[in-house]
Every structure is written in structure tokens, then in C-alpha cells.
Chain A
Amino acid sequence: MSAVFVWIETFKGSASPTSWEALGAGRLVADKMGVPLAALVFGENANAVAAEAGQYGADKVLVCDDATLHGFRLEPYAALLAKLVMEHQPKAVLAVGTTRGRELLAAAAADTDSGLLTEVTSLEVQDDGSIRVVRPVYAGKILSEAAGSPDGVQFLALRGRAFKANVPKPDAKAEVTAVQPALAEDQIATKIEGFEEETGTVNLTDAAIIVSGGRAMANNPKEAPAGTANPEVWKAQDGFENVLKPLADVLGGAVGASRAAVDAGYIPYAHQVGQTGKTVSPDLYIACGISGAIQHQAGMRTSKVIVAINKDAEAPIFKLAHYGLVGDLYKIVPALTAELKKRLGK
């Protein structure tokens, strides 16, 4: 089967929304190459997700719902993907470059001695069958144009939110084929012992809207309770929880932070945006009390609309922003939350 493969990432039996972006990109590649688009769905509930993949534009789906594939582990997933690549010799293998997507594609590419390009933000199939891509390098400070070789299987890990999903067609159906796993449980060296899910938080890299706070979060006018060991940290933490989070909530967005805020202990590292944190590309990024160091810019400069709220009118963030509001974030953010509640009817 000459085809384009797209791996559909699932979590607890549901497809990750960004997976449909990969299927959208895969559709473009498959059409240009004149080959069918095959989705790969591994793990629990694979058949239901396969039906959904058909609605999102897959011609075929290879499914494997085996107990060894319940909960992502690199070894069984990579072994199965590598086996399918060897058997079917697809032209290309695509996935969104989430934490799991990147390691799966890298491992299967290594197993099959195939080329892999990651963090792909745009792509074009050339007449000779090679796929030419643009990807950020040097922490997003410059761009690289690179190409895969049509002599081998071309693996591409896509930047999340860089490609559009197809509009699902309720009547569209794909041809579903069940495949066997490549490894048995006793051949797998890693065992998952527990998972502590973080609920109630929106995943930063998937978020369409991000509200981020910086060092100025410590300028909270609220008084820390008497006896608080570190009033500055208390004020900043209170600000993230009671001022920024309500704005993120009314927007259905996630809370981010600058490195300065994370290093000062205002908020956990999982929220850090920037060169040593997460790279994000939301539709709307609201930077509150963030000066905009080059390392922070590297992580958020591809956001569609950037709003900067800062006391210092000279802060570098205003050079990057589309809309600038000079003033105290502790006055502006609550006003913004109230205005949005009114306008969005919440």
C-alpha cells in the first residue's frame, strides 16, 4: 500500500484535537502525491476513533486495540509503527509533534533509517516527491528550509496549531483494517505505575488563548496575611490565581508565565513560555507584566494576536505586540475580565 500515514494520538480512548490537524496536512500531501491517506490508531477505543478519522478525511485506517497499547509507551508504539512502515513502505508518515508524537516518529524513523523533520510549520510536496518544509531553529530566532528525500519514507512531526483540520463529514467512512501488535508485554521494558492527571488546567500548547504573567505579578496591591514568610511570592501567587486565572477562564484559555515568574517561585514550571519552557502559538496571547526578553519572545512570537499590558511604555514586548496597554495590570486585567463577561454574555 503506497500511502501517506498519519498517526492519530489518543488519550484515554479519545483523539487529541491536534491529531485532526495532522490528518488535514496529510490530506494535502496524499492528494499531491496521488496516494491514499491512511490514519493509524493504536490503543483503547481504537475502532471508535477510527470511525472519527474517516469523518475527518482518512481513506483507510489501520487499528490496533491491544492491551499493551493502552496508555502510551514508546517501545510498543514505535515497534508497531516501524513494523507497519516496513510492511507498507508509505511515502510519508505525519503526526503532530506533541511530547508523544515527537518521540514516536523519531524512534520509528531511527528503526527504519528514515529521515525526520520536526517542528514543521509549513510544507510543500515537490514534483520529485520530496517534501520541502519550513521549521524554526535556534529557539525560534531563525527559520530553516529543509527537505526530505523521496528515496526513503519521509517522517514529519508538525508544530501544533500550524495546520488546519478538515471539516468533518458525518457520512464519510474509511476502510478499517485491524493489525497485530509488534511486541508482547514480556518484551516491553517499561511499566507504567501511576498517573496523576492535572485536571482543570488547559494544556498550554493546545490553547487557542493564553494569558501570561511575569515578574510584575508581585505588584499585587492585596496585603499578604500576617506572618507570611515571603509576602512577594504570596502576592504573585494570589495574582495568578485570583486575577489572571479568571481572565483566562472567561476566555476559555490557559495561564502561562515568564521564566522570571517561574524562577521566583510564583507559579510551577509547567506554565513557563519561552526558550527553556514551552513554545506556543495561540490565536491570542495576552502578556501581563512581562517585559519581553528575547528568550520569552522565542516562545510566543508566532502568536496570531499579541496584547501587552505593562507599566513600562518602553518594555520590549510593545515592539512585538499588536495592541499595547500601558498601565497597572492589577487595574487593567480585572477591568478586562469584567468587560469580557459583559460582552460575551457570561
Chain B
Amino acid sequence: MPLVCIGLEKEVCTLHVVVFTRSTPDTAARVEVGKDGSVTWGDAAMVVNPWDEYALEESILQAKNAGGKATVIAIGPEQHNDALKHSLAMGVDEAARVWDAALEDADSLAYAAAAAGAVKKLGDVDLVILGKESIDVGTDQHNYQIARKLGWPMLSYVSKIVAVDYSARTIKVERLLEQGRQIVTSRLPAVISVMKDINEPRYPSFIGIRKASKAVIPEWSLADLGVSLPPTRTRTLKLMNLPAREGQVEMLDGTPEEQAAKLVERLLEEKVL
């Protein structure tokens, strides 16, 4: 769904979109806790956080359609440059990475403060697009906290951008909630998080990959952003492997009718019906 520019001539219809991403282990990776208590994923590749692909695609579409630009930002050490280069190869215009030793044990509040600082440093941002969640940390809480630290409205679970009205400075979106679809408008600037069904992320082109490989990605410290972190209020004590599943699978044989009868018998015994 292309962006609809209302109220201004196409030539002056510009938009600065910021999108955040990070590198996470490939979704097929077997993630485990090693003997030293740290996370390992064998020789599985690091990929762009799968949810971010939809945010990256949407930022490219929106920026292109409005004749504006998209900037991608990662917060983390150098390994996250891979996700940034993938983003550039897809067609995002510019990239930056925020890192500081003080972010080493950052919780979501510190992450959000740094992210909001980066958006403020860019200055002219109209829209921040985020993936639904980060699979490594297993949460989406930083999304909402970025919006609050910016003081901008937050529209989560967006399945479609219906329109952007430049003269009124508003955005209209469709959100996918538990009970159905909601249509909602908000003023800009705003933060949105997008769902899987908003688009089909593109693969990086050959030319895009070549261009991205040469890109020099600036690194910003917290001092560059003028951000001081809020106190850390949560800490991870340890990581654990999942408890092994107890018992063996019980195979139920026979004709389909016999299998069905045996299963219903077991389910009644288990009291799950």
C-alpha cells in the first residue's frame, strides 16, 4: 500500500523515516546456554531481527513514495553493523550505530533513552517505524518506551498505513488487535510498530549489497547524543536451557477410528477436555 500524500504537491512531499534494527541469531538456530552460562547458537548465522524486515521494507516504501529518506539505526556493539549493512543493501538511505560502554548492561529503559536520543539528534524525523519485537530479548517493551521518551504518540501492531496527510500532519493506520481491526489516526511525528502482514520484505539486490559493503557507518556515543541513562532497574541473573520434556511420546496405532477412540480416552484421563 503506497503512501498517499495529501495536501502538498508530490515534489515537496518529503518524509524522514527512522527505522531501528539489530542482528539476532537465525530463526532456525538451535540456541542454547553453554557451560559458562552464556548464550550460544553454534555456527548459525546472525540475521536481521526477523520482525525488523517488515519495518525496513515499510520505511523504504514510505520514504520512496514521498520522495523522502529512510535512516536505519542500531544500538549495540559492532556486530550489529551486519544488520545495518543488510538494511542499506535493501535500499535504506543512511545508517548509524549507537554504542557506549554504559549500554553494556542496558535494560529496555536505557535502550529507549539512547534510541530517542538518536532520533532527536537527526532532528527532522516525521515517523519512526519499528518491528513488532526483538526475538533475542523476547520483548517489545522498548518500542513503547522509545515513543514515551520522545513524547510522541505510539501506534502498535500496524497492519496497514492507510494514508499520511501532510497539510494536517496526520497518519491513518489499521491496527491488528486481539478482537479485530482498528482504524486510528494520529498526529505526526509518531512512532509505529508493524506486523508481518504489512508487506513482503524485499531481498537485497546485487548492486545494493555492493554499495552497502563499502558504506562507512558512523558510531555515536551517548555523549554525542547528549543522553544520560536512567538507572538500571532490572537485571538478568542467569540464563537456563529449557527443562527436558519428561517422558516419551505415546504412539496410538490402529485404524483412524481406533486412533481417535484411544486419543479421546487419554485426553479424558488427562482432564484437558
**Residue positions of A touching B, CB distance < 8 A:** 11, 74-75, 78, 98-100, 102-103, 105-107, 109-111, 113-119, 132, 134-149, 151-152, 154, 157, 189-198, 203, 205-206, 209, 251, 268-270, 272, 275-277, 283-284, 293-295, 301, 304-305, 307-308, 318-328, 331-332, 334-336, 338-340, 343-344
Q: Are B231 and A113 in contact (CB under 8 A)?
A: yes
Q: Find chain B residues with CB under 8 A from A99 CB.
A: 156-157, 177-178
Q: Which of B50, B143, B249 contacts A318 (CB 8 A)?
A: B249
- Report whether over half of chain A's contact residues are helix, strand or loop; otherwise say mixed: mixed
Sorted from nearest, which 4 A-B pairs have the closest CB atoms? A115-B233, A106-B144, A110-B145, A110-B148
Q: Does B251 contact A (CB under 8 A)?
A: yes
Please, which residues of chain A bring their CB within 8 A of the CB of B141? 102, 105-106, 109, 116, 118, 157
Chain B residues in contact with chain A, CB under 8 A?
25, 27-28, 30-33, 39, 50-51, 107-109, 112, 135-145, 147-149, 153-157, 172, 176-187, 190, 195-197, 230-242, 245, 247, 249-253, 256-257, 259-261, 263-264, 266-268, 270, 272-273
* Cross-interface CB contact of A146 among B176, B234, B252, cutoff 8 Å: B234
Closest partner residue, chain B, to A318 (CB atom)? B249
Contact of A98 among B32, B33, B178, B190 (CB under 8 A): B178
Closest partner residue, chain A, to B185 (CB atom): A191
Chain A residues positioned under 8 Å from B261 (CB to CB) = 339
Interface residue from B109, B186, B233, B256 paired with A148 (Cβ < 8 Å): B233
Centre residue among B51, B172, B268, B272 by max chain A CB count within 10 A:
B272
- Dominant SS at the B interface? mixed
Do B247 and A322 have beta carbons less than 8 Å apart?
A: yes
**Pairwise interchain contact B182-A295, C-beta atoms closer than 8 A:** no
Q: Residue B237 contacts which of A118, A146, A295, A328 (CB distance < 8 angstroms)?
A: A146
Residues of A within 8 A of B139 (CB): 102, 118-119
B28 and A295 contact, CB distance less than 8 A: yes
Q: Which among A137, A140, A340 has the highest number of chain B CB atoms within 10 Å? A: A137
B28 near A327 (CB under 8 angstroms)?
A: no
Decide if A343 touches B268 in the complex (CB within 8 Å): yes
A322 to chain B, nearest CB (A): 6
Alpha-carbon distance A144/B235, docked complex (angstroms):
10
